[in-house]
Every structure is written in structure tokens, then in C-alpha cells.
Amino acid sequence: MDFAYLFTRSDGRINRKPFWMGILVMIAISIVVIGLLAFTVGMVGRGAKIVVFIVQLLFLYPSYNLMVKRLHDRDRPDFFAIIMLAPALVNGLFDVLGITGNPLNMGPLDYLLGIVQLGIGIWSLVELGCLRGTVGPNQHGPDPLQGQP
């Protein structure tokens, strides 16, 4: 599997298997990175929120490329990936700025962002991770499952 292609380019199509492999690789790497940063910076208070936001920013580009290729397989527009990524980034930024993210004193914005993230997360899971891509070639290239059982 060509991980460089998965994470650095947004052209072409991928089916569900490379998508989930890419997701698992990014989860494993983010756990290691957050663990190392937590050990060096500490995971208390605002420092923890900054660490998590930095990791979100580091994984923004590879996540976008992975999502776009999967959206291409579903014959969906690229900007859906931005819609799928935006709520988590906004929530992370608001947490770092101290606008949201206090678990002992959650406000309406915390709940609103949580509901939006949940809804878009479910849509993303179904759209990218569960549904089969378009059968045959589409405007983004040949069917990645063509010739496979």
C-alpha cells in the first residue's frame, strides 16, 4: 500500500480498505505523538488543549487527502471534506482560546459544537467508511475495485 500517495495527494479514488488502513495508521501515529508531547509538555489544563490542537493541525493535510480520495470514489465533491473536518478544528480552536472545553462548566456553545460534530461524524462514517463507491469509472478515475471480487 502506497501511504505516500494516500496522505500527500488528493487525486484519484480509493475504496474502503485503503481508507480504513490510512485511518488506522493516522490514529496510531497520533497516539504516539500525543503521548510524546504529553510526556514532554504535560497534559494538564491549557497545555493539553494546545497539544491536541497542534496534533489536529499536523493531521489536517493527510486527513483531507484521504477523505477527498474516498469522496472521489463516492463521486462526491471535494468540499465535503472541508465540511467534515471544520467542526473538529473549530472546536479545537475554541478550546485552546478558552471559549469552550471546560468539562465542569459546559455552556450552550459546547453542546452545540458537540451536536454538530456528532452529526457530521456519523455522516462521515457512513459516507466514507461504510458505503461502496460508484461502480465503474467516474470523473475521478477508474473503479479501484475493478477486476477484484
C-alpha cell recorded at residue 52: 491536541
Please tell me the predicted confidence (pLDDT) of residue 147. 63
69 vs 34: CA distance, rounded Å: 26
3-state secondary structure of 93: helix
What is the reported pLDDT for 48? 79
Contact 61, 113 (CB under 8 A): no
Q: What is the pLDDT along the chain (149 residues), one digit of tens a residue?
A: 899 999 999 999 999 999 999 999 999 999 998 888 777 776 667 777 888 898 899 999 999 999 999 999 999 999 999 999 999 999 999 999 989 988 888 999 999 999 999 999 999 999 999 999 999 999 999 999 986 65
- In this prediction, residue 141 carries a pLDDT of 93
Torsions phi, psi for 141 (to 5 deg): 135, -175
pLDDT for 127 equals: 97
Question: Whole-angstrom Cα distance, residue 36 to residue 95?
Answer: 21
In angstroms, the CA 82 to CA 139 distance is: 20
Q: How many helices (H) and strands (E) does the chain have?
A: 6, 0
Quick check: 132 and 143 in contact, CB under 8 A?
no
